[in-house]
Amino acid sequence: MMRKAFIFDLDGVIVDTAKYHFLAWKNLANSLGIHFTAEQNEQLKGVSRIQSLKKILEWGDKTISEKEFTQLMAVKNEEYLAYISKMGTNEILQDVPRVLDYLISKKQAVGLGSASKNARIILKRVSLYDRFDTIVDGTNVSKAKPDPEVFLLAAKDLGVSAKNSIVFEDSVAGIEAANTAGMISIGIGDKKILHKADYIFTDFTEIKEEFINQLIKNN
């Protein structure tokens, strides 16, 4: 079988850290007198911390100094880190380990491409760190999704071309990034939201070995 690159986003694909981001952003927004909703939080999926805070300030029609902006990002991250420090293997989304182990058994290249600067910490907390051949996160890239930089860098690290790379994503920005890179995009989540993906599954329980085999074989 041909060696392909299978690149996973982290938040909402491997683990559900979106709930922790929501709590941290909501507390920060409320401290500024800004009402923050779950619907708005959906728009921050796959978006960098800097861009997320900019969006929240725009929604609240707030202007703050550069110093306060930096301080607020640190406050948000500290609260988020407090949440994820308690994470364990029980927080891995269903059937993710099965798919990872199957890809490894087929000698496929497995990578992570995430906007999160805490990706390595989270993967270690849930005991999945060693499953990945490369980890590219927010500390390695300068451009946020929908720019394809994070996925292109992961594919390069894995020694696989973009056209032979497959991306698992739960965000619109992530799907756009994969498509722009010329990679196969697999949406994990709502079909209505992720309709631009090449394939869409509600979760990994729907992804069967036969489907993975077909992805590996296709040129």
Q: Write out the catalytic residue numbers.
A: 9, 11
Cis peptide before 146 (omega within 30 of 0): yes
- Read off the DSSP letter of residue 206: G
Phi first, then psi, for residue 201 (nearest 5°) are -130, 145
- Other residues' Cβ atoms within 10 Å of the Cβ of residue 85: 10
Exposed e or buried b per residue across 141-179, where buried means at least 16 C-beta atoms within 10 angstroms of its C-beta: beebbbbbbbbbbbbbbbebebebbbbbbbbbbbbbbbb
